[in-house]
Amino acid sequence: MKAKQKILVAMSGGVDSSVAAGLLQNEGFEVTGVTLKLWGGPSDTGCCSVSDVTDARRVADSLGIEHHVFNFGDEFEDNVVAPYVRSHAKGLTPNPCIECNRHLKFDKLIRRARALGFDLIATGHHARIVEHNNGLRIARGADFSKDQSYVLHMLSQSQLRQLKLPLGEMTKTEVRKIAASLNLRVADKPDSQDVCFISNVKGSRKKFLEQRIELTPAKVLDKNQRTVGEVESIEMVTIGQRKGLGLSGQGAPKYAVEIDAEKATVTVGEKSDLYCSTTEIKDLSWTDATYPTPVEVQTSAHGRTASAIVTSTVEWAKPHMKVAPGQSLVFYDGDVVVGSAIAE
């Protein structure tokens, strides 16, 4: 009899990764669960709090699999939290989930798994791994509303070869049904929040940044460079933002259309000023030497896509909402991720 393949499943304590572990066990893998302790102490509220570790452990107990906790706190601080803060200090809009996937879940964890003798790792992400042009690619999950291919766009061939995504073909409703049928205690647990190290409570992001950097007050200018208001901290302003600019009651709604961290100014304009025909990019990469043109471009984790021609810049087919500098642009051919870049 062939020995079972050993797979390490990253279990956050949520319903998705719990079901992933259960499905792989039913498929005949020798499953071990691991929860990554990335952030905070006993009182944290994020996705790696003690209570979530307990959920993951109790799910593992009920499946009869081993469960471990790996403390990747130092790496998380160095590769996710510190760059997040630095980006905000420069007036950029970072995406910490992408950096966490890049450095923690699919680099550090894969290396650890190999060292410990595992054949594969798995996560509960809603995305698929598909064959495309003789290689493996990330493609959208079957549940478009839960699709996470955007935050997995950076995975390399070697990472994809060592990875299984058991939920790729499923809708969230199906996942919850399976959780219930497996009697998993997390079947009805709400979905997790976006940035796991900052709580959802209003004002938390500001409080968090305040502890790490000095926030810079900024002038709010109109398109004619006249000062029309002030904000307490330029680090808290994002392109497209309307609220919190201190301009209410001054006529038609105004939006942040440009942020200059060096000069500490935020320029506001009409909604129409938020649209552009070109987005400057850096760190452009394609999965293949040849790629389609135009491509479909997604500019945020759960955003719609828009058609564009990508050269050294992104030329939108139709005027497109400005992309906040620092955000990732992910290029799709149909459902398949074929490239990415970062907005400048």
Partner 1 sequence: MNEKIIYLDNAASTPIRPEAIDAMTTVLSDCYGNPSGAHKMAREARRLIDDARDTLSHGLGCDPKEVIFTAGGTEADNLAIFGTQGSRDGTILASATDHHAVIAPVEQLGGQFIQVDENGLLDLDHLTHLLDENVALVSVGLVNGETGIIQNLETMAEIVRSKAPKALIHTDAVQAFPWLDVASLTQSADLISIAGHKFGSPKGVGALVVRNGIKISPMQLGGGQELGIRSGTQNTAAIVAMAAAADVTVKNRKVTVERVAKMRDELADSLQKIPQSYETGVQVHNGTADRSHKIAGSCHFCFEGIESEALLFMLEQKNILASAASSCSSGAQDPSHVLAAMGYSRNLAGGSLRLSLGHSTTWEDVDIAMKVVPKFIESLRKTGS
Q: Which of 2, 3, 74, 249 binds partner 1 (CB under 8 A)?
A: 74
18: contact with partner 1 by CB under 8 A: no
> Is the four-CA dihedral 186, 189, 191, 194 of positive or negative sign?
negative
Q: What is the DSSP letter of 105?
A: I
100 is catalytic: yes
Helix (H, G, I), strand (E, B) or coil at 81: helix
User: Is residue 116 within the footprint of partner 1 (CB under 8 A)?
Assistant: yes
Q: Is 71 in the site for partner 1 (CB under 8 A)?
A: yes
Among 29, 39, 70, 331, binds partner 1 (CB under 8 A): 70
- In 10 A of CB 288, how many CB atoms? 14
φ and ψ of 48, to 5 deg: -120, 35
Residue 71 C-beta: closest distance to partner 1, Å:
4
Contact 225, 260 (CB under 8 A): no
Residues 25-64 that bind partner 1 (CB under 8 A): 35, 37, 41-42, 50, 53, 57
* Residue 228 backbone class (left: φ over 0; alpha: ψ -120 to 50; beta: rest): alpha
Closest approach of partner 1 to the CB of residue 121, in Å: 13
Angle at 21 between CA 20 and CA 23, to 5 degrees: 65
Catalytic option among 47, 48, 97, 196? 196
Q: Which strand (E) or helix (H) includes residue 271? A: none
Contact range with partner 1 by CB under 8 A, out of 111-119, 150-158, 203-211, 217-225: 111-119
- CB 54 → partner 1: shortest distance, Å? 8
Binding site for partner 1 (CB under 8 A): 35, 37, 41-42, 50, 53, 57, 68-71, 73-74, 111-112, 114-117
